[in-house]
């Protein structure tokens, strides 16, 4: 069942997802691990063509009640000097976002490393006109957002269709 959110609820969700993803990061930011080019990805297909060239970030969590057991954040890279995140670009209706392990067994992972596990997450993703978090915080650049529950990752990766979103909303 697909749920349509009001624009206010959508924007609140975007800001919460953004705050969650970025507040879970270690101070050194580490884009993580010894080789940031290896590890899992969260791939979203069937994104409407009007979003080609736009940018996506994501977050996922496993909760025990209201306690975070495991969480991941999805972004292309992080500049450790500025704290600025660079998001992944949509091309041909598809985006593959590197995912980074942020919490495991309720504890913050330091330094953050590329995710390579086999878990099922409730995923949130957002589409933005701008490519970085610093640009995003300077204005309202959110275009669309989606929630997909129970996304199973294998060896750190998962592929889903935007059409399978539990909730999807567009602002423009």
For residue range 6-28, list pLDDT tens digits in order: 554 544 454 444 444 444 443 33
**105-140 pLDDT per residue, tens:** 888 887 888 999 999 999 999 999 988 887 666 566
- Residues 144 and 79: their CA atoms lie apart, in Å, by 25
3-state secondary structure 62-128: EEECCEEEEEEEECCEEECCCCEEECEECECCEEEEEEEEEEECCEEEEEEEECCCCCEEEEEEEEE
The larger pLDDT score, comparing residue 143 to residue 18, is at 143
pLDDT at position 46 is 97
Residues 93-100 have a mean pLDDT of 96
Residues 51-63 have a mean pLDDT of 93
pLDDT at position 136 is 61
Q: How far is CA 63 from CA 88, 109, 132, in A?
A: 26, 16, 28
Predicted confidence band at 3 (pLDDT cuts at 50, 70, 90)? Answer: very low
The larger pLDDT score, comparing residue 130 to residue 151, is at 151
Residues 140-156 have a mean pLDDT of 90
Is 15:96 a contact under the CB 8 Å cutoff? no
The larger pLDDT score, comparing residue 94 to residue 79, is at 94
Q: How far is CA 138 from CA 57, 58, 73, 79, 133, in A?
A: 17, 19, 21, 18, 9
Is 121:72 a contact under the CB 8 Å cutoff? yes
Has residue 77 got a pLDDT over 50? yes
What is the chain's mean pLDDT, rounded?
80
What tokens does 109 get?
């992972």
Domain ranges of the chain: 7-30+39-170
What tokens does 105 get?
């067994």
State percent of the chain over pLDDT 90.
47
For the purposes of burial, counting CB atoms within 10 Å of the CB of 126, is it exposed (0-12), middle (13-18) or buried (19 or more)? Answer: buried
């Amino acid at each position: 069942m697909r749920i349509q959110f009001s624009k206010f609820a959508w924007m609140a969700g975007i800001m919460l997802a953004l705050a969650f993803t970025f507040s879970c990061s270690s101070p050194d930011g580490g884009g993580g691990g010894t080789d940031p080019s290896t590890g899992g990805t969260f791939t979203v297909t069937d994104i409407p063509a009007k979003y080609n060239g736009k940018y996506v970030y994501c977050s996922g969590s496993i909760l025990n009640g209201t306690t975070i057991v495991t969480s991941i954040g999805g972004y292309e890279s992080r500049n450790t000097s500025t704290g600025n995140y660079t998001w992944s670009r949509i091309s041909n209706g598809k985006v593959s976002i590197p995912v980074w392990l942020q919490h495991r067994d309720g504890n913050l992972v330091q330094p953050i490393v590329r995710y390579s596990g086999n878990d099922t997450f409730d995923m949130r993703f957002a589409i933005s006109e701008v490519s970085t978090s610093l640009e995003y915080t300077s204005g309202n650049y959110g275009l669309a957002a989606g929630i997909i529950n129970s996304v199973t990752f294998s060896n750190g990766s998962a592929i889903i269709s935007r059409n399978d979103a539990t909730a999807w909303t567009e602002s423009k």
